[in-house]
Amino acid sequence: MMTSVQIQNLTAEQAYTALGSDPGGLSNAEAGDRLREIGANSIEIGDPWRIARSLLRQFTNFFTILLVVSAAICFAAESVQPGQSMALLGWALAGVALLNALFSFIQEYRAERAMQALRKFLPPTVEVVRGGQTQTLLADELVPGDLLLLNEGMRIPADARMVDATNLTINNAPLTGESRPVILTAGPTDSRLVESSNVAFAGCLVMRGSGQGIVFATGLRTEFGKLAHLSQALRRAPSPLEQQTAHMVRTLTIIAVSLGVTFFLYGVFSGRSLWINLVFMMGIIVANVPEGLLPTFTLALAMGSLRMARKNVLVTGLNAVEGLGATQVICTDKTGTLTLNQLAVTRLVAPLSGADLSDPQAREQMLNIALCACEVHTVDDAYRGDPLDVAIAQSLAGGAAGGGSPARVLRHFPFDVERKRSAGIGEVADRQLFAVKGAWEVIRPLLSHVGEPGQERRPVSDEALDRAEAVMTELAGAGYRVVAVAGREQPGEVPEGIAQDELEHDLVLAGFLGIEDPIRPEVPSALERCRTAGIEVMMITGDHPDTALAVATRCGIVDAGATGEQVLTGDVLEQLTETALEEALERGVRIFARTNPSQKMKIVMALRNMERVVAMTGDGVNDAPALKAADIGIAMGKSGTDVARASAQIILLDDNFASIVAGIEEGRTVFQNIRKFTNYVLVSNGPEIIPYLLYIMLPVPLALTVIQILTIDLGTDIIPSMALGQEPAEPEVMQQPPRKRDFHLLSPGLVIHSYLFLGLLEAAWSLGLFFFVLVQGGWHYGMELAFDDPVYRSATGIALATILLMQIGNLVGRRFARHSGLDAGIFKNRLMLAGIMIQIVFSWALLYTKPLQTVLGTGPVAWYVYLAAWLGIPLIFGADYLRKRLTWRAPARRSFPEQPSP
């Protein structure tokens, strides 16, 4: 069978022969044999173990491994000395590990299913000729040799060599990144495959016309599929949150194990029994490991992803929720992201004066002349055809003109790439006109007169042509795509078969159309928010440098009056070394023009070498490597290819730049909330750890049992943590610069605040009441108490109740980094109110209800002792608010705080 390298060089007849087909197409039997031999026309590589690997991956983090090992130790201890509730503890730890793994897996699975719902890039059905009959097939059933029918608006499902083409124009942007239309023909060519004018490539769009092509490559053998396969081989670097979570987990795990083993050995050499030392070691490990933190992490990210989805930002990996918030640099496309991706005629300019036409009749006259050179038809009340032709028709119909009848096109001469113009004959107000529209440089030699509105038309002269060229240059310099419009009256019948060249004479220049892809109205304000938030925005486009600079100026990427020094073209970029590119970025280059998608990778790697967190947008197949190389890959949901979406972590459902900024705000809020509930959870570690240190070093009873610690970590702290994960953005969240790449979630400031400040306060108050109850009950220093002694049960009960109540003050204080947290907003967070109620009710129930007394080993206390436990709430809240006032008084703390978000 003929290879794809040679297919474009053959005539149509030779292509049929090479592929074992003919103009009647393959027989159904032959097509079936080829399908079984070659496989389905699909770019997806089946992985039967993907789900199993995804589930297994959830069990490989340090926390989960530690919990599983700890559960195993508990089961072993229960077998050695039954009846000590170690099996119950083991099942609790194993359950936490399993629950967290399943929860993370379910969230990933749901995100993947949501992305699969977007996979509609290749058409589900296509029309082919088989056995001389036109048939409709699933796109997956195409095989080499099939005769494929192409029609306007369809996505091409496989690589096909054209054997017939009628005004067939293709947009190859999904494959090449170049958005210029390509006109296909059926004749042989000597060019390379990807530059061939007789090959339609899979994944590309038929803009207009129709044709027939013989399929020569399907699935992963297509150019589209080859790039898709290459992108699948790239491995994505861990996201900022993955790195920070791994650092925090490693740190807490090392601390927990080190303390546990150290004091276990200390106990052994001190002569304590193995059983007591084992219980102590398990207590230290359980107290240091915030077992409920990872499930809360996952839940916070999941809730953040749902909120992002409401803002048209689909998250395919949960860590990308926060990763988007860490973004320092956004590399964005222009077309469709900053702009509407809809050509519009925004200026109609007189040819000599350069004045914008304001008279409705003059505007209508110019647009009608231009429309005579267009080919537009209406389908379901919508215009179809070349985007430029559609823009002219919409401008004429949408009130840009005087409201008269539009031109009726009698004959059309399609746009020709070499001619750089299109032409046509039309009827306007009972007059027959011949019109031409296109590039000024090719229309200029065809002119005989120039028509200025309100004046008699004048013969062309060098002076008039130079003035017209100056008008065109000024319009182009302002960022418009300039289309020259010329025409003349065409009296009488036009002979059939007359060539375009025979009609192109004595033309009158009517003026210039200023065409642009309008900037999305919300983009300038979104870019201003980026500027305020310290986020750099760079434009990467295939457009002309002047156009790119003009659009970037109007958007706000660069300031008005910016020069070409801030623009770098693809040709120059190709020659730069990585070091030279980094220097250019440091100098302030923010616009990359005339670039191709492969150069995006070079830009991404340079920024990452500069320690920037990079978000990259893309929609084409060639964008996939850059999307994977970036910290956050952002694909377009509407215009993006399936391969780009599969390579990205974020999918914009509306292709809108403003949605990226909304996602960044949500991502920053998620990280801020993660800091809040991490801080909240770690505070209770202090009063959980210190009792075990006192127990092993001093002759005093153990103030908290392992089961009681788990009651805090897996019970009463979960709902408040979830509530903090739902807190809205703080007012300053988009007024602070992005955090640095090496910013640690478990920072020194957070550790000091959690363990050595609020943690010590909770430990001091809870232990004070613990020893108060013991002394009241007759205990003295050095005296041993049995675990079932009523005095001990009451004392450990009040210690646990005090921690729960003080966590209420801690919870309210964590809502804001600078404010008290006591405001009306607390009543809008129902989870927070529920969490507070749970802690209040549970603190009472564990002291005074039999079932909880039995399970937790607690007992009742006098009412005034329980009341004293309530005083811990204003104590911890007031101390923390005083710290906030002192800490945030300095103006220098305006940057992203190293201090946690308490």
CA–CA gap between residue 590 and residue 536 (Å, rounded)? 8
How far apart (Å, rounded) are the C-alpha atoms in residues 643 and 647? 6
> DSSP string covering 319-354, please?
HHHHHHHT-SEEEE-STTTTB-S--EEEEEE-TTT-
Q: Which among 315, 184, 267, 191 has a CA at the least distance from the CA of 696? A: 267
Q: Is 356 tagged catalytic?
A: no
Question: Could you tell me which residues come within 8 angstroms of residue 256 by beta carbon, excluding any fewer than 6 positions away?
Answer: 66, 284, 285, 287, 288, 289
Q: What is the DSSP string of 136-193?
A: EEEGGG--TT-EEEE-TTPBP-SEEEEEEEEEEEEE-HHHHS--SEEE--SS---S-G
Q: Is 699 exposed, middle or buried (0-12, 13-18, 19+ CB in 10 A)?
A: exposed
Q: State the pairing for strand pair 313-315/199-200.
A: unpaired
Distance CA 622, CA 873 (A): 58
Longest dimension (CA), the chain: 121
User: How many CB atoms neighbour CB 388 within 10 A?
Assistant: 21
Q: Which two tokens stand for residue 613?
A: 């967190």
Q: In the structure, how many helices (H) and strands (E) does the chain have?
A: 35, 25
Return d(Cα 279, Cα 260) in angstroms, integer. 10
Q: Are 847 and 860 in contact (CB under 8 A)?
A: yes
d(CA 125, CA 636) in angstroms, rounded, equals 23
- Looking at the DSSP assignment, which residues form a beta bridge with residue 614? 329
Task: Single out the residue of 449, 561, 558 nearest to residue 508, CA to CA.
Answer: 449
CB-based contact 413:374 (threshold 8 Å):
no
Tokens coding 3 = 């290879």
Q: Which helix (H) or strand (E) holds 421?
A: strand 421-428
Nearest to residue 308, comparing CAs of 637, 8, 591? 637
Closest CA to 691 of 196, 283, 89: 283
Given 3-state DSSP classes, what are the helix, strand and coil percentages for the chain, each rounded to the nearest 5? 50, 15, 30
Over its C-alpha atoms, the chain yields an Rg (Å, rounded) of 36
Using CB atoms within 10 A of its CB, is residue 80 exposed (0-12), middle (13-18) or buried (19+)? exposed
Q: Directed axis angle between helix 759-776 and helix 872-887, to 10°?
A: 160
Nearest to 588 by CA among 609, 567, 613, 612: 567
Q: Name the amino acid, one letter, at 497.
A: G
Cβ–Cβ under 8 Å, residues 570 and 593: yes
The Cα 9–Cα 192 span in angstroms is: 9
- Cβ atoms of 733 and 668 within 8 Å: the answer is yes
209: helix, strand or coil:
strand
Structure tokens at 46: 């089946």
**3-class SS at 236?**
coil
Of 333, 386, 517, 713, catalytic = 333
CB 769 within 8 A of CB 798: yes
Q: List residues with catalytic annotation.
A: 333
